[in-house]
Amino acid sequence: MPKPRSRPVNRENHYGGLLEQPTREARQPQQYAGIREWQAEHAISRLFRTSIRLQTAFDRCFQRFGMTAQEAALLLHCVEEGETSAGKLARRMGRDKGKITRFVDRLEGGGFLSRRSDLRDHRSLVLKATPRGRRTAPQLRRLFDEMRSAFFHGVLNADLDRLESVLTQLHANAERLCEPATRKVAQR
C-alpha cells in the first residue's frame, strides 16, 4: 500500500504545464520536506498558470486590432514617447531586442508604426507611431484600463499593496536567478 502524502499534487498543473508529464512508470508520489516547500511549489505553479491565462485574455482582447497585448503596449509607448528606439523599448518593457524587433515588424506591417534610420547614428533605427497608430492608441488605452479593472475585481487595496510588495521581491529574486554567476553555481 503506497504511503499517503501530506498534500496532493496535481501533476497536470505542475509548473503551469511547462514540464513534460511523467510516464506511468516514473510517477512517484512527491515528498515534501514540509508545508513551506509544498506552498512554494504550489505558488510557482499558480504564478505560471495565472500569467498564461492573463496573457491569453489580454491577447484575445487586442486580437480585433490585429495585434497582441505586448504589441499594443509597445505601440502605446511609441505614441507616448513620440520617437524612440528598439533598445529603449526593450529596457522599458523588460524584453529582449529581438522580441521587440518582431513586435515592431508586425506593427509596421499593420500600418501602426514606421521606422527610419537615425540621422545621428545610421546604425540605429527610430520608431514612430503612424497616424493610424496614434488614432488607435486611445482605444488600446481604454481596453488596457478595462482589462486591468476586470482582473483586479474584488481585490482589496490593502491586498494589492501586499501583492505589489511580494511581486517586487519575487521579481528581484528572479532577476538574481538570471545573472550569469548564479547560473554557474546552479550548474555545479
118/48 Cα distance (integer angstroms): 39
Domain span at residue 114?
34-148
Q: Is the residue at 185 inside a domain?
A: no
Q: Is the residue at 119 inside a domain?
A: yes
Q: What is the pLDDT along the chain (188 residues), one digit of tens a residue?
A: 444 444 444 444 444 444 444 455 555 556 656 777 778 888 888 899 999 999 999 999 999 999 999 999 999 999 998 888 888 888 888 888 888 889 999 999 999 999 888 777 767 788 999 999 999 999 999 999 999 999 999 999 999 999 999 999 988 988 898 887 645 555 55
Q: Is the residue at 167 inside a domain?
A: no
Q: How far is CA 140 from CA 70, 82, 136, 187, in A?
A: 11, 17, 6, 43
113-117/125-129 β-pairing: antiparallel
The dihedrals phi and psi of 43, each to the nearest 5 degrees, come to -65, -40
Q: Is the residue at 102 inside a domain?
A: yes
Q: Which of 146, 85, 87 is nearest to 118 (CA)?
A: 85
Model's pTM, two decimal places?
A: 0.70
